[in-house]
Structure 1
């Protein structure tokens, strides 16, 4: 069927809706921009860029980055350039619809100092392994032979979900699922986590409006990074054998963070 999802599993939606915390709409409605933001500086884009980068091990502090971005205080280029790239990707997303082309364009922006130019916005062509700090294989991503097909399914499903009418609880479910599915495919040579967290928020903004950009999801994932990685690992070691029936703990992180905050 044309409108049937090909990749995103929906089996957990009913269970998710039974467990999602009450008050999600109210908590979302009170989100607002920070007073420090201006026409040329976004506080919450800085928060997103800094904490998403810190998850990936970047040595950057929010206070220093705000001094750099808002007030023009100079730091060593290596300290800020990757975060500046991610900030530009978020800024780009705010003024563009999310689709296959813009997803690649956003990756081109955020990976300017991560990858050689020919790999920016281009799918990898080799196997991808996620390893632990001591060198053990933690996860084997989709093989390069199935990668293009899986990404076609991803964008097919994304287009369908963007057209569906949803309650806010469903929007959060699919935004988190998009994040999880994308990071499990792991299509880029680098920047997959940064991309997945951006796309999650981008989807929320497309469905719910600009208040989504004020949601401090990246900061929450950083502050709970042990849980973040644990719940991602729950699905299994290899892409063809992933068990999405175990995805609920990850999918619940985002709505719980908003309501509890």
Structure 2
């Protein structure tokens, strides 16, 4: 495959590290429910939305959010609204194909209560960096001058991959790499992490069906968030000098989440 961003040379090493029971894990996932109901879909996307929000520092607890969602317990709007927005974005993605227009809509939904209206679903035009809690720069994202070019490459890879019949391990590998390359480009002013984690399952739904939305990857990433961020940071400090040969540990996190 002539992919523009994803390094397919990593697959050989990746395959050697894939657990022997991977296909059994996938079969269990796909057979979990022959038809995912609206209630069960909402339940799993609620879990995903809570943990993806918590990764970004949101003060939201799963128990409280489920009470809000299913029992009508009222909380202050600031406590639930950004998680509600993310759940709505998951629902939209589950019924629409992964393409540029729909991705921008998903970002609009995710950032409804994060960014001002003019910045939602809009590629950034300014420089971007990521800091830790102490204010130290952890990462310098793609230069604003090359974002559109890099995202064109990213969408080209999505288009090529979506047209291929992939083995289970390949689908998981490419889903992880789409997540990784997206957050490394960091194309938006905010909401990149939430969007990247959603993209991963959005892509997988084409291969594993609707039950791909059952994968509790966001929960796994949250519960192992130090490892999640270490795997991201190990590639390098700046987009222009990232070493994607070090991406394998990140791609294995998604496989690990299948065991939850």
Q: Tell me which interval the TM-score lies in, with the shorter structure as reference length.
A: over 0.9
Contact 2:141 2:239 in 1 (8 A): yes
What secondary structure does 1:138 align onto? strand
RMSD: 1.5
Partner of 1:8: 6
Contact 2:47 2:219 in 1 (8 A): yes
What secondary structure does 2:8 align onto? coil
What secondary structure does 2:205 align onto? helix
2:55 matches 1:64: no
For residues 47-92 of structure 1, give each alpha carbon's deviation from its aligned partner in whole angstroms, at most 9, with x where no partner exists: 0000000000000011111111112111100000000000000000
Summarize the Cα distance change of 1:40–1:16 in structure 2 as closer, same or farther, 3 Å threshold: closer
Contact 1:130 1:139 in 2 (8 A): yes
2:88 matches 1:94: no
Separation of aligned partners in 2, 1:126 and 1:138: 18
Partner of 2:47: 47
What secondary structure does 1:252 align onto? helix
Separation of aligned partners in 2, 1:194 and 1:9: 23
Contact 1:21 1:256 in 2 (8 A): no
In the TM superposition, residue 242 of structure 1 has moved relative to its aligned partner by 0.4
Separation of aligned partners in 2, 1:77 and 1:62: 16
Query: What stretches of structure 1 of length at least 5 have no aligned partner?
Result: none
Partner of 2:113: 113
Partner of 1:103: 103
Partner of 2:155: 155
In the TM superposition, residue 8 of structure 1 has moved relative to its aligned partner by 1.4
Separation of aligned partners in 2, 1:41 and 1:172: 21
**Would you say how many aligned residue pairs link Structure 1 and Structure 2?**
256
Query: What stretches of structure 2 of length at least 5 have no aligned partner?
Result: none
Please give the TM-score of this superposition, normalised by the length of structure 2: 0.95
In the TM superposition, residue 39 of structure 1 has moved relative to its aligned partner by 4.5
What secondary structure does 1:139 align onto? strand
Separation of aligned partners in 1, 2:27 and 2:62: 25
What secondary structure does 1:12 align onto? helix
In the TM superposition, residue 257 of structure 1 has moved relative to its aligned partner by 2.6
In the TM superposition, residue 29 of structure 1 has moved relative to its aligned partner by 2.3
Contact 2:26 2:168 in 1 (8 A): no
Contact 2:85 2:111 in 1 (8 A): yes
Please give the TM-score of this superposition, normalised by the length of structure 1: 0.95
